[in-house]
Structure 1
Amino acid sequence: MDRAGLIRELHEIAAGMTKAEEHRQQPEGAGPAADTSLVDQYGFSSLDALEYLLILEEKYDVVFEDEDLTEETLFSIEGLATYILDQKVGRSPSVS
């Protein structure tokens, strides 16, 4: 699984959860800002964020451990991608 492809998928899943067309249709070649939070970018509530994590756990066969649910991990797609990739290669994010 390559990082760029994973990030693209994570954005697609998040955009699919929102009703706002502006989040789904971006100008050609323009990607979402890497440092924008899921709340700011997709209008996620805390329940949306929880649902999103459950979808990611099932899709990528990972587990978001309570101690790993930090702002750094959950703030952005970049943090989520790092977490998922670390789990896929057997690194424990909570030990870093």
Structure 2
Amino acid sequence: MELISEIREVVLEVLKKDYPEQTPELEDDVDLSEYGISSVTYINVTVLLEDKYDIVFDDEKLDFTNNNTIRQLTEYVRDCISNK
């Protein structure tokens, strides 16, 4: 599975926990807040990504405004993986 698809699945997993009645079609360049992701929910996403890929998000990347789309998250995770 392609990395961006895997990250999309992680975001969907978190959304399903918080909003089980809806399953949105996630677009890669849409602000995650439009799907109901808050700064607190975003931390849940980052923790899952850190565990899944054995990476650590830099403190500035934990700010929801810095990585607020699936594409931005994917680029950051890809950079972290390649720099391990």
**TM-score interval w.r.t. the shorter chain?**
0.7 to 0.9
Q: Which runs of 5+ in 2 are unaligned?
A: none
Matched, 1:80 2:73: yes
Corresponding position of 2:14: 17
Matched, 1:35 2:29: yes
Structure 1 distance, partners of 2:61, 2:82, is 16
Q: Percent sequence identity over matched residues?
A: 29
TM-score by length of 1: 0.69
TM alignment of 1:40-55, pairs within 5 A: 40-41=34-35, 43-55=36-48
Pair 84,68 (structure 1): closer, same or farther in 2 beyond 3 Å: same
Q: Which runs of 5+ in 1 are unaligned?
A: 27-31, 92-96
TM-score by length of 2: 0.77
Pair 5,56 (structure 1): closer, same or farther in 2 beyond 3 Å: same
Structure 2 distance, partners of 1:35, 1:68, is 17
Matched, 1:8 2:8: no
Residues 27-70 of structure 1: CA deviation (Å, up to 9, x unaligned) = xxxxx3222011113x1122111111111111111111113345
Structure 2 distance, partners of 1:56, 1:45, is 16
Aligned length: 79
Larger radius of gyration: 1
Pair 58,69 (structure 1): closer, same or farther in 2 beyond 3 Å: same
User: What amino acid is aligned across from residue 36 of structure 1 in structure 2?
Assistant: V
